[in-house]
Structure 1
Amino acid sequence: MRCPQSWLLLFAIALAAGCATTRTTAPGVVGVNREQTMLVSSGEVDRSAAKAYQETLRDAKGSNLLNRDPREVERVRRIAARLIPATAAFRSDAPGWNWEVNVVTSRELNAWCMPGGKIAVYSGLIEQLQLTDDELAAVMAHEIAHALREHGREKAGQAAGVNAAAAIGGALLGAYFGIDSG
């Protein structure tokens, strides 16, 4: 094996060894004891999510689509205020996240919660479906659960792993066949 291939193999082994499996929520609390492989740090994902959230808010505000109906905003924030303390049952750190809750005026039937507690609810979900507070809370809790379980971080890690594997595989194939990957 030539030197570049040896380094690539060592890099692949180090990358695989560095993959940490973790439990993102307390075991047994919800009857789910699932381990996840995380390749990206929680802090990195939280910073990226906060930046994307601020960009989303800036774009919505620039289009006069952010928090246009004060009653809807108050309602969504009141529901979130009821849900956020309950997150401690799943993650002790979650109630201390820098939670943000906003309503985007859109006919889209959507809501989401980014890592670190950045929530957006689209007005179409509320207005078109005529949701009760309990129904809206169920939708929001579902989205919050994605953040609590760090599904965004898990997907970012999977993408990073696929990209790294493709780069390593390409470099190995290139080296084997004598093709310059550049």
Structure 2
Amino acid sequence: MIRNLFIFLVAVATGAGCSTNAITGRSQMKLLPESELQQMAVSEYQTFLSSNKVVTTSNNRDAEMVNRVGQRIINAVNAFYKQNNLTADLNGYKWETKLVQSNEANAWCMPGGKIVVYTGLLPITQNEAALANVMGHEVSHALFGHTNERMSQTVAAQYGTNILDAFMANKTSSGMRQLFGTAVGLGSQVGILAFSRKQELEADHYGMIWAAMAGYNPQEAIGLWQRMQAQAQGNRPPEFLSTHPGPERRIEQLQKFMPEAMKYYKPIGK
């Protein structure tokens, strides 16, 4: 409680950083320049790819599927933002989608649209539609500035009112890079940052909409999270679950969002 009060007072003291998301309607504290986070993402993305095995699309059906789903999700996002006169919000986005070899059940999307899916996730998704719901979820984190929110909270707690100066001076430091990776969900998490459950439910909600617009059945999200729940039973939960609401709560909310998502659903080829 004291930590959250401190962050609130810092936000008030700076006189900036609070804005209302045009899609979700939620007020967010985003104190860092999104353009800087996108530049940071380019560097961290390349570093990640250089130190991990990227599965190429040449004669690999899984990589082809990930790229295909990614492009359809991207097309759906572009269409939705155009329909709602929000195309300017996608400035700076240079989308890329990669499949990397890893036993982790994980996926993420960096600010600016750098998407990665781990091969360890595919045995849980099991089908293209479930994968689309995951990728839509991760894209929503980037679109809604959740990385900015998470980093802003931590930087505010560490540096007080000198938030922007501290970030600009330290953005290439190992500590700031680690914080960025944690906020994105790139590796092992170090605790649950405030608002993360709200962020996860927002990402679930609109992730289903992007999947539906892309021609994938959003109802596959239910089976996906049931399998995630089963995977977590008696074992270390998949990294993808580390800061997420409990599976029961998540499925309950997915069912609540489902009627809206189904309005956007038009199966591929129809």
Deviates more, 1:152-161 or 1:15-24: 15-24
Q: TM-score, normalised by structure 2?
A: 0.49
Residues 1:142 and 2:134 are matched in the alignment: no
What is residue 20 of structure 2 aligned with on the other side? Answer: 23
Q: Name the CA distance, whole Å, in 2 between partners of 1:14 and 1:104.
A: 38
Q: Give the count of matched residue pairs.
A: 146
Q: TM-score, normalised by structure 1?
A: 0.71
Work out whether residues 87 and 94 of structure 1, in 8 Å CA contact, stay in contact via their aligned partners in 2: no
Q: 5 Å matches for 1:95-174? A: 97-126=93-122, 128-129=123-124, 131-165=126-160
Q: Name the CA distance, whole Å, in 2 between partners of 1:157 and 1:23.
A: 16
Deviations 1:116-137 (A, max 9, x none): 10100001111x2252110000
Task: Give 1 or 2 for the bigger CA radius of gyration.
Answer: 1
> Following TM superposition, by how much is the alpha carbon of 1:94 offset from its aligned partner in structure 2, in angstroms?
3.0
> Following TM superposition, by how much is the alpha carbon of 1:44 offset from its aligned partner in structure 2, in angstroms?
1.1
> In structure 2, the residue corresponding to 1:40 is in which secondary structure?
coil
> Following TM superposition, by how much is the alpha carbon of 1:13 offset from its aligned partner in structure 2, in angstroms?
8.0
Deviations 1:21-42 (A, max 9, x none): 1234x34xxxx31011111100
* Seq. identity, %: 36
- For structure 1, the residue ranges without an aligned partner over 5 or more in a row are 1-11, 168-182
> In structure 1, the residue corresponding to 2:18 is in which secondary structure?
strand
Q: Which has the higher contact order (CA 8 A, sep 6+)?
A: 1
> Following TM superposition, by how much is the alpha carbon of 1:57 offset from its aligned partner in structure 2, in angstroms?
0.3
Q: Name the CA distance, whole Å, in 2 between partners of 1:53 and 1:44.
A: 14
What is the RMSD of the two structures over their aligned residues, measured on CA atoms? 2.5
TM superposition outliers: structure 1 runs of 4+ over 4 Å: 12-15
Deviations 1:53-73 (A, max 9, x none): 11000111xxxx211563222
Return the match for 1:47 from 39, 54, 64.
Answer: 39
- For structure 2, the residue ranges without an aligned partner over 5 or more in a row are 1-8, 163-270
> Following TM superposition, by how much is the alpha carbon of 1:17 offset from its aligned partner in structure 2, in angstroms?
3.3
Residue identity matched to 1:82 = R
